[in-house]
Amino acid sequence: DATTTITQSPTLTVTNTVAPTDIAAPQTLTYTIVVDNTGNTSLTNVAVVDPQATTGPAYVSGDSNSNDIMEVDETWTYTATYEATQADIDNGSDIVHTASVTTTEVTTAVTDDATTTINQVAVMELTKTDSLADTDVSGDDSAGDIITYTITVRNTGNVTLSNIVVTDNDANIPAGDETIASLAPGTSVDISATYTLTQADIDAGSYANQASAIADSPGNTVDVSDVSDDPDTATPDDPTTTNFTPQPAIELVKTAVYSDTNTNSVQDAGDQITYTFTVTNTGNVTVSSISIDDALTGSNDLAISPADLAPGATGTASATYTITQADMDAGFVSNSATATGDSPGNTDDVSDVSDNGDDTDGNTTDDATVVNFTPQPAIELVKTAVYSDTNTNSVQDAGDQITYTFTVTNTGNVTVSSISIDDALTGSNDLAISPADLAPGETGTASATYTITQADMDAGFVSNSATATGDSPGNTDDVSDVSDNGDDTDGNTTDDAT
């Protein structure tokens, strides 16, 4: 028999593909391994290995007669999977899987690699929100109140960040809270910080604050950073602004001290009142350039000291007023002043009408400052006589005349008006003096005549008193005096008959 020798050439090819070929987050990678029998003999005991696979490789298709023998030109397909982890993303290196195929006939493994590329994104985002607490329970925004910030650090990239340090140069972060050891993608950590408001902040009307953070990405140092954003605005990476409500207000108290300038122990015209103006800042912002307008004292733009007042602070000024006779006759001086100042960024927008500082008078706000006087109405009438030898016989006898002069002096501290004389001897009734109205210290006179009778001559004298009567302010006939003879050497200095 003739024999033909056949040369067996067992060969195969392997194609390993992966989907997807690049990733940016943990996910499942699916490998398709295709094995082709490219030789001239069947292959047995086909073994497909991927040591890195999470599952598989597992046979899918290709054994046309299901005899577990790879016939010539058959193509068998296998699949495997791999669960890419965050560690893979953090590592950043390509994920390379090698599929190896051997058979009984092909003892040297035939391999093929499938590669997935890692796309690393290292980024973080800071947001900062604010909450203002009325720490001093004043009911308004004021120095000493505390802003509490919540700083949220979020890993918006796809790699783990480490050694995160949050910095806020103005707010206080509790020691130890500023450092975050590690932050996985998609996670966040909240940090609290506080800031105590100053008066300058309140005066400015708002306070803006911004935090910052730095971090390490895998294999790098301080390569990731961000500044905080205010999530309440559309502007990216803007400071967090806390706005305040300005409540400018001042309170003016005007008090009075009476001075007996002429030291006569009587309240009268020419004495002085010293007014003290006390301005208190009762608002929550600084009020500057505060001045007093007081028409009574002639004060216009009278500066207080100090002229600029922080909330709760007090400034003062003073002015004097000289009392007039009209004031004395009125019985009082009543007056209000006005304080005016500037709130931050404004001019003359803060004002107050004065209060008298006495909250026991039934009026606790803006009541006028009143200085009352004690009226002391008084007049003094002196009646003097001049004898006339009417018949020129050089003898005092019946028919001669006496001319009486009535002199009235206002010895009180208020004007006395409508002064008249009643004198029964001369038959004078409501005899007007001139002038009839007398200010304190002024003098008015009148005169009347009397004809001597024989009875007077027989009696040897004529003795008589008159009475002056007038009106004090607001009254009628309430001031009177019986005449004196004007001779204080007769042992009687008051009201002795003429």
Phi-psi region of 425 (alpha: psi -120 to 50; beta: other; left: phi over 0): alpha
Q: pLDDT tens digits, residue range 37-72?
A: 999 999 999 999 999 999 999 999 999 999 999 999
Q: Which domains does the chain have, with CATH numbers?
A: 12-118 (2.60.40.10), 124-243 (2.60.40), 250-372 (2.60.40), 379-482 (2.60.40)
**What's the whole-model pTM score?**
0.77
Calculate what percentage of the chain has a pLDDT beyond 70.
Answer: 97
Q: CB-based contacts of 400: which residues, under 8 Å, 6+ apart?
A: 387, 388, 389, 390, 391, 451, 452
pLDDT at 363 over 60: no
Instruction: Report CA-CA distances (Å) from 480 to 247, 292, 331, 417, 470.
Output: 60, 45, 20, 11, 6
Geometric angle at alpha carbon 76, from 73 and 82, rounded to 5°: 150
Look at residues 55, 52, 118 and name the one whose alpha carbon lies nearest to residue 87.
Answer: 118
> Which residue type, as a one-letter code, is found at position 486?
G
Per the model's pLDDT, the better-predicted residue between 493 and 312 turns out to be: 312
Q: pLDDT tens digits, residue range 446-485?
A: 999 999 999 999 999 999 999 999 999 999 989 999 999 8
> Which residue type, as a one-letter code, is found at position 162?
S
pLDDT at 497 over 80: no
Rounded Cα distance between 78 and 16, Å, is 9
Look at residues 28, 144, 46 and name the one whose alpha carbon lies nearest to residue 100.
Answer: 46
pLDDT at 359 over 70: no
> In this structure, are residues 444 and 436 in contact, taking their beta carbons and an 8 Å threshold?
yes
Q: Which H helix or E strand runs over 202?
A: helix 199-204
Phi first, then psi, for residue 155 (nearest 5°) are -85, 105
